[in-house]
Structure 1
Amino acid sequence: MQSSGTSSQLDNPPSYPCEKLLVKPWGWKWRSSYWFVTFVVWLGVATDLLVYSMVIPVVPFQLEELGYKHPASLTGWLLFAYSGGLAIATIPVAVWSEKYDARKLPLVAGVVILIGSQIMFMEAPAYWLMCLARTLQGVGSTMVWVVGLALLCDETPPEFVGRQLGIAISGVSLGTLVGPPVGGGLYTRFGFRGPFIFGIIIAFLDLAFRFLIIEGKSASKLRSNTTEKPNNEIALEANTNSLTDIGNDVDVQNKKVSFVHILRLLFRSQRALATAFLTFVYGIIYSTQEPVISNHLNSVWGLNSSKIGLVLLAGATTIFASPLSSWLADLQGTSVVIIIALVLSVPWYVVMIIDGHLALFITAYGCAYFFASGVLSPLTVELASVARSVDGIGYAHVYGAFNLAYGIGTTVGPVVGGQMYDHIYKGWLAICLLAVGLLGLCVIVAFFYVGEEPIVQSFTRRIRLL
C-alpha cells in the first residue's frame, strides 16, 4: 500500500502556482539592473535639487511683492524649514527601511509627498504655509537620499559602487544647474506658479520611473524561474526554496539591531564620525550663500531674477565633479581626493569676495562650486565602505547618518547666512570668510580620520619604514 501511494504521489505531484512564478513583468531584466536603478536614483536626486533650487532666485522677489521686509532672512527660514523636514524624517526613514528591507515603497511615497508640497507652496496664501510646504518637501527628499542611495548600493556589485554613486550624485549638479535659470525665467514669463508647475511635471516623470523599479530580491526569484521545469522538479525546488527562505529570514532577524545599538556602532567608527562631520560642514557652506546670493547679485550688479538664474549657470561645472571625483576615489582613495578638492576650493571663495567685474565673480563661483562639490561623491563612497566593514550597519543606516548630517548643516546654514547678510556690515564678505575657515577645518579632519588608512597614518608608517 505504501509503495502504491508513493507511486501515486510521484505520478500526480501536488500542484504549485508555477504559472505565477513563470509570469514575468514586462522588461524585468533591465528594470532590475543596477544601471536602471542608478538612472532612477540619479533622476530622483536631480528632481529633488531642481524643485529645491528653482525658488532661490524667485522667493526674495515674491516676498517683496507680498510686502515682507528682510527677504534674505525670510528666504533663509524657508530653506531652514526644508532642511528641518529633511533632518526630522531621516532617522525614522532609515530605521524603517533597514528593519523591513523596504526600498521601493518609500521611494514612491517620497515623490508623492514632493508633488503635494509643491502644490501647497504654489497656492500658499501666507508665509507660515510656505514654511510648512517646504518642511514636507524636506520629508519627501529624505526618501531618495536615504533609501535611494541604499537601494543603489544593494543592487550594485561592490567593485562598482563608487562609480555608480558618482553617477547618481551628479544629479545634484544637474538639478542645481537647471533649477535657478528655469525658475527665474518661468517666474518672469508666467508668474509665481510657473516654476512650480514645471517642477510638478518633472516630479510625475520621476514617479513613473520609480514605479518601474524591480528590487533585487524580486528579480532573483524571477531569474530562478527562467526555464520551464517539470512539476515534480518545481515541487522539489519549492520545498528547497522555502527552507532557504526560512534560513535567510532567521539570518535577517539576527542582523536586526536596536536603533541605540546602531548609534553606538556609528559613534565608535572614527571614519563614520569624520564623514558625518564633513557632510555637516559641506551642508553649511553650500547653504549659507543660497538665501543671499540673489540679493548680493541684485545689490552689486543690479541683476533681476532671470539674469541671476543665468549667472548661477556657472554651477554647470559641478556636473562633471561627482563622476570625476568618484572615479579618482576608486583609484587613489577617498582621503586624497577629498583633501585635494577642499584645498583647491579655498582660493575661489576668497575671489568671490571681490565686487569687481561680474565675469570674475562668475568664474570664481563656478570654480568654487566645482571643487567643493567634488567632495560629495567620495563621502558617499566612504560611507559605503563603513557599512561593509561594520557588522550590524546597513546602507540605509549610513546614508541616514549622511542625510541627517547634511540636513542639520543645511538647516543651520540658511539661517546663519541670512542673518549675517542682513545684520553684519559687508555680510557677503563675512559669509565667504566663514566658508574659507570651515574648509580649512575640514582639511585637518580629512588628514587624520578619513579613509581606511588616513593620510597621517600612512605618512607615519612610511617614515617608520625608512
Structure 2
Amino acid sequence: MPSLESASMSTPGSSTPMVADHVGRRPFALEFRSSYWFTTFVVGLGIITDLIVYSIIIPVMPFRLEHLHYHHISSLTGWLIFAYSAGLVLSTIPIALLSERYNDRKTPLIIGLLCLIGFQVMLMEAPNYAVMAIARVLQGISSSVVWVVGLALLCDSTPVAIIGRQLGIAMAGLSIGLLIGPPVGGTLYERFGFRGPFVFGLAVTVVDLIGRLIVIERREALKYGHDPAAWTPAKDPELASEKTDPEPTSAKAEIKGDAQIPSTSASAVVVGETPPPRTLTLVEVIVELTKSPRALVSLFLALTYGLVYSSQEPSIPLHLAAVWGLDSGTVGLVFLAAVIPTLFSSPITGYLADRKGPEWVSFISLSLAIPWWIVVTIQGPLLLFIVAFAIQSFFTSAIVSPLMVELAAVSREVEGIGFAHVYGAFNLVYGIGTSVGPVVGGQVYDHLRRGWATLCYFATALIIISEILAFLWIGADPLYDRLVRWMAHTSSQSPPAPPTRTPTPEISTASNSSSA
C-alpha cells in the first residue's frame, strides 16, 4: 500500500494553509505535469487557440455570407466579430466567481474547450446568419474560460518572483494566434473551401484539450506533497539569485501564503485544522476592488489598451488604401509588421516587471508609446508609417504583462480576492474595450474629415492619462511616492542657507548714533 505523504502548504490568494493528506498512487510525471513551465505552455497554447478561433473567420466569413445571398456583408461580418466579444464579456463574471468559489481550475478549462469544439462545428454548419451569431456568442463564452481560469491556474503554480516572466511568455500567444489565424484561414479557404479553416481550428483545439487533460493544478499536486509554486536552486537556478519579492509589501503576501520559501523536501509537517478561506459575493468582490487604487488604475489601463488597440482595426486598411493605394494583400503585410514586434514585448516586459517592478515598466512603456502615435498620423513615406506603426504596437502592447503582474499583487494583498477575480475583471474591461473600440473607430473614421488623425490623437490622450495614473498608483511603491521621498531626502541633506539680516532703517540709525 502506498505510503502516506503529507504536506502543509498554502494556496495563493488565500490565508488558509492547506493540509495535504492523500493516500493513493502518485500521478505519473507529477513534477513535470504540475510545473509552472508546463502550465505556462498549456495556458499559452490556450490563448493561441482562442485567438485562432477568433480571427480565422475574418477572411472567409464575408465569402460565406455572399454564398448565402446576404447583403451589407462588411456590417454583418463586424457584428459577428462583436458577438464573440459580447459572449466573452457576459460570461466573465460568473466564470470568475465559480472558479474561486469551488477552487477548481482544470474542470472549467476542459469543459470550456469541449464546448468550443461543439460551437465551432455549429458555426461551420450554420444554415443562416442567426445561427452564426449564436455560435459566435457561445464561442466567446467558451473563450473567456482560458482568460480567467487559465491565467489563474498559471499564477497558482508559479513562484511570486517570476510571475511576470511566465505571464509574459503565455501572453505572447495572443500575438501568435493573430499571426496564424487570418492568413491560414484565407489559404485553407482557397484550397479546401469554407470548412477548411474550421477543420484547422478544430485540430488546434484538440491539441489544446490534450494539454489541459495532462496538466495537474497546484491544489492536486499538494495532495501528494509537491508544491509547484515552491522552488529550489536546482529547479530554476535563476530564482536562487532572487533576494526579495519584487513587491515591497509582501508582508501581507506572506500571511496569505504567497511568499515562496525554498523547499528541500516533498513533505512537511501537518498543521492543525484552520477555518475555510473567506468566500466573497459578487458585490463584495466589486467593493474590495474599488477600494484598491492599484486595481482601479490597472483596470483602466486594460480598458485603454483594448480601446486604442481595437479602434484601429476597421480604419487602418481604409487609411492605407486612401493614402498609399495599398491593396488587401499589402495591407496584410503591414499588419504583420505591427504584430511581429508584440511577440517579444510581452515576455520582455514581464521579465522586467519581476525585477524592476511593474511601476517602472508600465510608466516607461506608455511614455515611449506616445510619440509614435503622433508619427503615424504623418502622411509621408510608407516606410515611415510601417516603422512607426510597428514601434507603436510594441510599446503599447508592452503594458499587458506589467498589468498582469500588478493584478496578481492585488490578489495577494486583499483577503478573499483570488486570481480568477482579478483576471475576470481584466477580461471584462478589456472585452468592453475591444467591443466598443471598433465601433468608435469606424464611426470616427467615416464621419470626420481627418478621421485617422482624430483616432490617433484620441488614443494619445488616453495613453497620457494612463501614464499619469500609472505614475501615481501603479506598484506597491508608486513612482510618485518615490519622487516625494527623494525630494524630501534631498531637501534634508542640503546645507542650511545662511541667515540674511537686513537691518531696518531705525536700527541702522540707532547704530550710527551710538557709534558717533
Letter in 1 for 2:103: D
* Structure 1 residues 345-374: Cα deviation after superposition (integer angstroms, max 9, x where no partner): 223233333455443333232222111110
Change in CA separation of 1:206 and 1:16 when aligned onto 2, cut-off 3 Å = closer
| Of 396-405 and 61-70, the range deviating more from structure 2 | 61-70
Name the counterpart of 1:247.
273
Kept after mapping to 2: 8 A contact 1:181/1:308: no
Q: What's 1:9 paired with? A: none
Per-residue CA deviation, residues 33-54 of structure 1 (Å, 9 max, x unaligned), is 1111111001111111222223
What is the alpha-carbon distance in structure 2 between the residues aligned to residue 64 and residue 462 of structure 1? Answer: 64
Number of the residue aligned with 1:311: 334
Instruction: Supply the distance in 2 between the matched residues of 1:357 and 1:270 (Cα, whole angstroms).
Output: 43
SS in 2 for 1:251: coil
Q: Which runs of 5+ in 2 are unaligned?
A: 5-21, 227-266, 491-516
2:432 paired with 1:408: yes
Task: Give the TM-score taking structure 2 as reference length.
Answer: 0.77
- TM-score, length-scaled by structure 1: 0.84
Q: Which amino acid aligns with 1:433?
A: Y
Higher share of residues assigned helix: 1
How much is the aligned-residue C-alpha RMSD, in angstroms? 2.8
Contact 2:163 2:354 (C-alpha < 8 Å) held by counterparts: no
Letter of the 1:336 partner, please give it: W
Name the residue aligned to 2:464: 440
Provide the aligned length of Structure 1 versus Structure 2: 432
User: Aligned equivalents of 1:51 and 1:442: distance in 2?
Assistant: 31
Letter of the 1:454 partner, please give it.
Answer: P
C-alpha separation in 2, matches of 1:160 and 1:430 = 39
How do residues 267-416 of structure 1 correspond to structure 2 at under 5 angstroms?
267-298=290-321, 305-314=328-337, 315-416=339-440
Query: Is the CA contact 2:2–2:23 (under 8 Å) kept in the aligned structure 1?
Result: no
Equivalent residue number for residue 442 of structure 2: 418
The alpha-carbon distance between structure 1 residues 352 and 185, as it changes in their structure 2 partners (threshold 3 A), is farther
Contact 1:94 1:146 in 2 (8 A): yes
Q: Residue 18 of structure 2 corresponds to which residue in structure 1? A: none
More divergent stretch after superposition (302-311 vs 163-172): 302-311
Q: Whole-Å Cα distance in 2 between the matches of residues 68 and 444 of structure 1?
A: 47
- Structure 1 residue runs without a partner (length 5+): 1-14, 225-240
Tell me the secondary structure at the aligned position of residue 37 of structure 1: helix
Q: Would you say the 8 A contact 2:100–2:421 is kept in 1? A: yes
Amino acid at match of 1:30: F
Counterpart-to-counterpart distance in 2, 1:124 and 1:418: 28
* Aligned partner of residue 377 in structure 2, secondary structure: coil
Where relative contact order (Cα < 8 A, 6+ residues apart) is larger, the structure is: 1
Alignment of 1:97-116 (within 5 A): 97-116=99-118
8 Å CA contact retained: 2:162, 2:351: no
* Letter of the structure 1 residue corresponding to residue 122 of structure 2: M
The more displaced of 344-353 and 33-42 is 344-353
Shift of 1:276: 0.6
- How is 1:162-311 mapped onto 2 (pairs within 5 angstroms)? 162-223=164-225, 247=273, 250-252=275-277, 255-298=278-321, 305-311=328-334
Report the counterpart of residue 5 of structure 1 in structure 2.
none
Q: CA deviation at 1:162?
A: 1.5
Kept in 2: contact 1:60–1:72 (CA 8 A): yes
SS in 1 for 2:273: helix
Counterparts of 1:280 and 1:410, CA distance in 2: 8
Whole-angstrom CA distance in 2 between matches of 1:164 and 1:259 = 29
In structure 1, what is the equivalent of residue 129 of structure 2? 127
Which of the two has higher C-alpha Rg?
Answer: 2
Q: AA paired with 2:366?
A: L
